[in-house]
Amino acid sequence: MSLFIPKNYRNLLGSTERTEKAIKSVKDMFQLNLSAQLALLRVTAPMVVLTGTGINDDLNGVERPVRFPVKSLEDRRAEVVHSLAKWKRLKLAELKILPGRGIYTDMNALRPDEELDNIHSIYVDQWDWEKVITREDRNLTFLKQTVRRIYEAIKVTQNRIYVEFPQLVPDLPEEIFFIHSEQLLQMYPDLSPKQREDEITRTHKAVFIIGIGGRLTDGTIHDGRAADYDDWSTPTGDGYEGLNGDILLWNDILEHAFEISSMGIRVDEEALRRQLEIRNEEEKSELYFHRKLLAGELPCTIGGGIGQSRLCMYLLKKAHIGEIQSSLWPDDMIRACHAAGIDLA
């Protein structure tokens, strides 16, 4: 069990009823703010996709999806989504969405390989979003502009929640700080990637780390990324590679950097070929999604996921994601949290 119990933790919202009301307020407000900032249309998304199509995300490339046979499809196997990066791109092509507009959806997933702790659950709920861009938009400047818009949506939501729940005092900085994972390595060469995240986020409070998945100069990667959705290998023009990254906020309660979103400009044909070769996964080029992309049948896009329970946990100043969502937890974790005034759903 990996569990952090904050000293003198106090549930600022008091009753479960007020917490549930606040959760709804955050979710209602943020999705409206996000949609307005990025010009997104809400769509309905699948919870399962067929195995073997390449539509499901590989995340770090090692997580196992929940699979099962479907009787009415002659026992063809399906799997619960990990996220919807590839499905969203297919949907944008189907809807013939023009550059500058996009879609978002409520994504509900199961990730049974997650190690359960304060911020990880086997149940994942995200706002998954994807937006059509031009090839000329596939650059670091456009990525940063999009990050700033998402950050603005978070800040506006925090300020509006403060009006309704004045005990939740806003604490986000005015601007989000950008840094590349290679720069972070050079600043803190003796620290692990997570320790580097803690140091930079403790200082700047809101940080976007660029270049997640590409190899750094010490031969490591900052964190895992699959080869076939985010573009982590394209040169950015400033001596570094990567058109993706993570939004991190400093969490005073947990005393750690707190990932809110993983996002990025998606691979084009060239980046997909390059990244599949880097990861020795060229065989994936024969899958349905990959064939369509390599044939030029899918639009250029930018997209990501924003954790719903994560964002609620941060804005409502909760110590455990189980205070926001109902999931499965080890008995000893439930007991330890209850003793500290942290009641898990």
With H, G, I as helix, E, B as strand and everything else as coil, classify residue 6.
Answer: coil
Catalytic residue flag (residue 255): no
Q: Is 298:288 a contact under the CB 8 Å cutoff?
A: no
Q: Which of 246, 310, 323, 327 is catalytic?
A: 246
Alpha-carbon distance of 227 to 59, in angstroms, equals 9
Helix residue spans in the chain (DSSP H): 16-38, 85-95, 140-164, 181-187, 193-204, 269-278, 288-294, 308-315, 331-339
Catalytic residue flag (residue 198): no
Q: Specify which residues 264 forms β-bridges with.
A: 244, 303
Q: Is 49:87 a contact under the CB 8 Å cutoff?
A: yes
Token look-up 């570094």 returns 240
Q: Which of 25, 31, 35, 57 is catalytic?
A: 57
Which stretch of DSSP H or E encloses residue 77?
A: strand 76-80
Pick from 66, 236, 21, 70: nearest CA to 139: 236
Catalytic residue flag (residue 332): no
Q: Which of 89, 111, 160, 225 is catalytic?
A: 111
Q: Is 243:138 a contact under the CB 8 Å cutoff?
A: yes
Catalytic residue flag (residue 125): no
Q: Which of 25, 233, 262, 308 is catalytic?
A: 262
With H, G, I as helix, E, B as strand and everything else as coil, classify residue 76.
Answer: strand
Q: What is the DSSP letter of 321?
A: G
Q: Is 57:82 a contact under the CB 8 Å cutoff?
A: yes
Catalytic residue flag (residue 74): no
Q: Which of 259, 275, 309, 310 is catalytic?
A: 259
Catalytic residue flag (residue 111): yes
What is the per-residue burial (b if ≥16 Cβ within 10 Å, else e) of 232-269? bbbebeeebbbbbbbbbbbbebbebbbbbbbbbbbbbe
Q: Which of 126, 261, 275, 327 is catalytic?
A: 126
Sheet holding 48-50, edge to edge: 48-50, 76-80, 67-70
- Residues identified as active-site: 57, 111, 126, 246, 259, 262
